[in-house]
Amino acid sequence: MYDSFIKYINTYSTTPLRDSDIELIKQVFVPRKLRKRQYFLQEGEVCKYMGFIVKGALRQYSVDEKGNEHIVRLQIEDWWAGDRESFVMLTPSIYNIDAWEDTELLTITKADTITLDQIPAMHELMRKLDEKHSFAYTKRINAAISMSAEQRYEALAQAYPEFLQRFPQHIIASYLGITKETLSRVRSSRKK
């Protein structure tokens, strides 16, 4: 389970991991398994763990007063799961995060993240991930306010084609902020 995480760190970091770094990583990251539909986080809870997805898929969403789900993030292998605001600020989350597939994660507590500052490769990884997430959120906001449904779907298909294979249409539609019917129309017109 740790091998894929070590490989992931080495992909993002120019600083090589030492044996002592790997041992420390194994001490602070705890393996956890979720069954399909099992919660990683429920609305109203404080997010106590961030999780690196080794295998599986999760979705992060809010539920409005009418009971409609609004998907804000989809996550698969080599992605991080958790509500960062709740994790950092220790405030109740407004999101649910559940497993869409049976999922294996390596989880870490906020207290243990301080330990990671001792590892130069992890520090570099976190800085690069912060940049990557900032760019991704800016693109997502821009897409939501300025792109048509067709353009949003095309952007998703190009950036994350695996999402279209692993998540059903209603999840993809919610993630794109469109109805299932609009998504059906977009997919049909794309095949022509």
pLDDT in tens, 130-155: 999 899 889 999 998 999 999 999 99
How buried is residue 141: exposed, middle or buried, by Cβ count under 10 Å (0-12/13-18/19+)?
A: exposed
Which CATH number does 2-116 carry?
Answer: 2.60.120.10
Contacts of 107 (CB under 8 A, 6+ apart): 29, 30, 31, 32, 49, 50, 51, 52
Tell me how far apart the alpha carbons of residues 57 and 81 are, in angstroms, rounded to a whole number: 10
Most confident of 84-93, 112-121, 128-137, 140-149: 84-93
Contact 5, 25 (CB under 8 A): yes
Beta bridge partners of 52: 80, 106
Task: Provide the percentage of residues in the chain whose pLDDT is more than 70.
Answer: 99
- Structure confidence at residue 192 (pLDDT): 61
Contact 132, 16 (CB under 8 A): no
